[in-house]
Amino acid sequence: MAGKFDPRIDDLVMETRTLWDESVGDELSDEDRRWVSQTIHQHPQLATKIRYERSHTGFTREITVTLEDIQKLYTVQNRES
C-alpha cells in the first residue's frame, strides 16, 4: 500500500523501516540519520513518501526520507524547543 499517511493503518504498525531518497545524499552523519529516522517515525504524517506493508502481526511502515522531510522535521523541532 503506497501513498500518504493513513491514521487507521498506522495504528496497526508493528515495525518500521527507513530508506533514504537520493535528494538526501551522503551528507548526513550516522548520528543525524538515526535522529531523522527516529523523529520521522514519531511524526509519520510529515513524510512525503510513506508505504505500508501487511505483515503477520499488523503492518510495516516504510518511509523514504526526502530532503523536504528533513526540513519539515527541523521546523517541528524548532517549534517544540
Indicate if the pLDDT at residue 1 is higher than 80: no
Instruction: List, in order, residues 6 or more apart from 67 with CB less than 8 Å away.
Output: 21, 23, 24
What would you report as the CA-atom Rg of the chain, rounded to the nearest whole angstrom? 13
Q: Quote the number of domains for the chain.
A: 1
Which domain range does residue 66 map to? Answer: 2-80
- Whether the Cβ atoms of residue 54 and residue 29 lie closer than 8 Å to each other: no
Residue 70 has a pLDDT of 94
Residue 75 has a pLDDT of 86
Indicate if the pLDDT at residue 2 is higher than 60: no
pLDDT digits (tens, 9 = 90+) for 17-57: 999 999 998 989 999 999 999 999 999 999 999 999 999 99
